Amino acid sequence: MPSFDACPLDGYPTELGLLLATLQSCTWDWRDELGDVDEDAIVWQARSGGHSIGAVLLHIGEVELYWIEEVVLGREMSEADLQLFMSREIEQYKGQWPSPPRRPLSWYLERLDEVRARTLAAVRDFPAPDAEIPWLEHTVTPRWVLSHVIEHESYHGGQMLLLQDLYAAGS
């Protein structure tokens, strides 16, 4: 009988290591389901200014960097990161998503792998999992930030799968 368990990543406080392991698992799941996507599908938008797989991939990377490095560790995003992840062009709350760069899926996944490597390194510098960090008019904890990044990536992972299906249905 198969057995499943979630084990914390080694070298981190247990709470954070477990959340990091969950984040990794989430990433592997949607990547496996997404499979190989061609460049036409990556840049396709169901409507003008709507979501695309490529823009969502960039958004996932930007959001992970923002929460991990900027909110928890107080490091402002670099100009290079802001440009790479189209941070100024994507207006998620207005539903405005620019056309992403026409690149192979491997290019996007390499960018996300770079972000994840930065995340894994940055979490080693995190304060205690329950430390309260001021954010806007609230406080957040490192533990909450990691859970939010997991939730965010899971949401958009499913969204990319739907975009892929919509693209395939229309081609």
pTM for this one? 0.96
Is 149 a member of any domain? yes
Q: Supply angle C-alpha 74, 124, 76, rounded to 5.
A: 20
Q: pLDDT digit string (tens) for 95-144?
A: 999 999 999 999 999 999 999 999 999 999 999 999 999 999 999 999 99
Say how many domains are in the chain. Answer: 1
Domain that holds residue 26: 14-170
Is 2 a member of any domain? no
Is 110 a member of any domain? yes
Q: Helices 14-34 and 142-170 meet at what angle, rounded to 10?
A: 0
Distances (CA, A) of 14 to 117, 136, 137, 143: 19, 28, 29, 11
Is 81 a member of any domain? yes
Q: Which domain CATH number covers 86?
A: 1.20.120.450
Is 6 a member of any domain? no
Is 3 a member of any domain? no
Reference 73, options 85, 86, 64; nearest CA is 64
